[in-house]
């Protein structure tokens, strides 16, 4: 039995991460689908809806999914690392978008920050088509 945590923000992200996991997850595994939003003025109603739709997509396409939408004022990487600690997650699965070096500098990188903060095995799935 393996406990996976997948971080989703949109249905497109959820589709790609589910596609990666579909042949790996068994009925004995647990998948935590987590959408993390800052909250307050930094989060729009549309982002809340989009995040919930992403977790629902995972629930509909993988067995034994426990979905969570976290709106606690934390960065996504803080939420995911904390959630993984609290639930003894064994593997993180995240998506990554290709961006220019300038884009990374200006906007930061949730995936990069998460990789630097976690000690768990982490799979990074490309979100753009090759």
User: CA distances (Å), 42 to each of 29, 47, 71, 74, 91, in order?
Assistant: 34, 10, 11, 11, 29
Location of structure tokens 């220019």: 100
Q: What is the pLDDT, as a whole number, of residue 86? A: 97
Residue-wise pLDDT tens digits, 64-111: 999 999 999 999 999 999 999 999 999 999 998 776 665 555 445 788
Rg (CA), the chain: 14
Instruction: Say yes or no to pLDDT of 1 above 60.
Output: yes
The two structure tokens encoding residue 113: 């920050």
19 versus 40: which is more confidently predicted? 19
Q: Model's pTM, two decimal places?
A: 0.89
Average pLDDT, stretch 117-123?
93
Domain hosting 38: range is 3-126
Task: Let me know how long the chain is.
Answer: 130
For residue 111, the domain's CATH number is 3.40.50.620
Instruction: Give the chain's domain count.
Output: 1
Q: What is the pLDDT, as a whole number, of residue 83? A: 97
Distance CA(17)–CA(14), nearest Å, equals 5
């Amino acid at each position: 039995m393996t406990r996976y945590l997948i971080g989703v923000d949109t249905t497109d992200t959820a589709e790609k991460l589910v596609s990666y996991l579909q042949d790996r997850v068994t009925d004995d595994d647990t998948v935590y689908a987590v959408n993390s939003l800052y909250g307050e003025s930094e989060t729009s109603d549309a982002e809340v809806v989009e995040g919930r739709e992403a977790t629902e997509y995972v629930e509909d396409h993988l067995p034994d999914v426990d979905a969570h939408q976290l709106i606690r004022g934390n960065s996504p990487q803080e939420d995911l690392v904390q959630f993984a600690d609290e639930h003894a997650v064994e593997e993180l699965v995240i998506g990554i978008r290709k961006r220019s070096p300038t884009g990374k500098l200006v906007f930061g990188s949730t995936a990069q920050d998460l990789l630097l903060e976690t000690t768990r095995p982490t799979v990074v799935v490309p979100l753009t088509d090759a």
